[in-house]
Amino acid sequence: MSSSPLLNRVDGVFIHVRNLRRAAEWYSAAFGVPLKEEELQRHYYTLNVSGEQPWVTLDDHGADPAFEFQPAAHPILSFYSRDLSAAREHLRTLGALSVGEIEEAHPGLAYFVFRDPDGNALMALQRS
C-alpha cells in the first residue's frame, strides 16, 4: 500500500455560528476555559479545549456575505465527559437549546445529544 500525504488524524473542527461573541462566551463557559478577547477581533474563534489537537473553531463567516447559516442537524462531533449526568445539568444551566436523555450505545459507552444556542447538534459521551 502506498503512503498518503494525509494523516489519519483530525486537526480541527469548525462549528458554524450566528453570533461569534455569544458562541465564544457559551463554549468557554461550557468547557470552563477563559474567554480570549483578542480572538474576537476576527470572524472565527479557536477554542483549544484540551491544549492539543483537534482544535475547535467557531466561525461566523463574517467575511463571507453569501454564507447562509444552517445549524448542524446531526451531531458533528462528540466531547468526552467523566460524568454525563453532571454534563447534562451543566449544559442545561448554560442554556443549551436541548439536552437529550443519556443513552447506552453498548456496554461501556453512553452518550447524549445536545444543541448549542445556535441549534448545532453535538454529543457528549462517556466510556467506562
Question: 48 pLDDT exceeds 80?
Answer: no
The predicted model scores a pTM of 0.89
Query: In the predicted model, what is the mean pLDDT of residues 58-64?
Result: 93
Question: Is the per-residue pLDDT at 28 higher than 70?
Answer: yes
pLDDT score of 118 = 97
Predicted pLDDT of residue 3:
86
What pLDDT score was predicted for residue 54? 83
Show Cβ contacts of residue 119 under 8 Å, excluding neighbours closer than 6 positions. Answer: 71, 72, 97
The mean pLDDT of 72-81, rounded to a whole number, is 95
Which grid coordinates belong to 15?
462549528
